[in-house]
Amino acid sequence: MRLGLYARVSTHEQQTLTLQREALEAYAQQRHGSIVIAVEEVGSGVRERHQREALMRAARRRDIDAIVVWRLDRWGRSLADLVGTLHELQALGVGFISLHDA
């Protein structure tokens, strides 16, 4: 399975970026997945997320089979944004995996 990994923290003071990255990489290794793209961002959820958009472009090109995130709140800017992107990924046939949320 070709995976895209996404990690994000809201501020530079948050210390979970390394924790997120390690957990995402461990998941890929345990599932024998191939990491095609791994992106990290620092910034609040309301501003533009260029790295997330790069991951969505990879999904639209079908370069990846699934996107893996640490938690849902790291991906969605709002509930509407989360639902919209999940719906788009489903229509593309690209999976979405959150390590801490069902």
Q: Which domain holds residue 13?
A: 2-98
**Amino acid 14: pLDDT:** 78
pTM of the model: 0.91
DSSP for residue 22: H
User: Which residues of the chain register pLDDT less than 50?
Assistant: none
34 is catalytic: no
CB 82 within 8 A of CB 96: no
How many domains does the chain contain in total? Answer: 1
**Amino acid 13: pLDDT:** 77
In this structure, what CATH number is given to the domain that contains residue 82?
3.40.50.1390
CB 28 within 8 A of CB 64: no
CB 43 within 8 A of CB 8: yes
**Amino acid 46: pLDDT:** 58
Q: Which residues pair with 96 in a beta bridge?
A: 67
**Amino acid 45: pLDDT:** 59
Q: Taking the CB of residue 25, how many other CB atoms lie within 10 A of it?
A: 17
The catalytic residue among 10, 44, 78, 98 is 10
**Amino acid 72: pLDDT:** 92
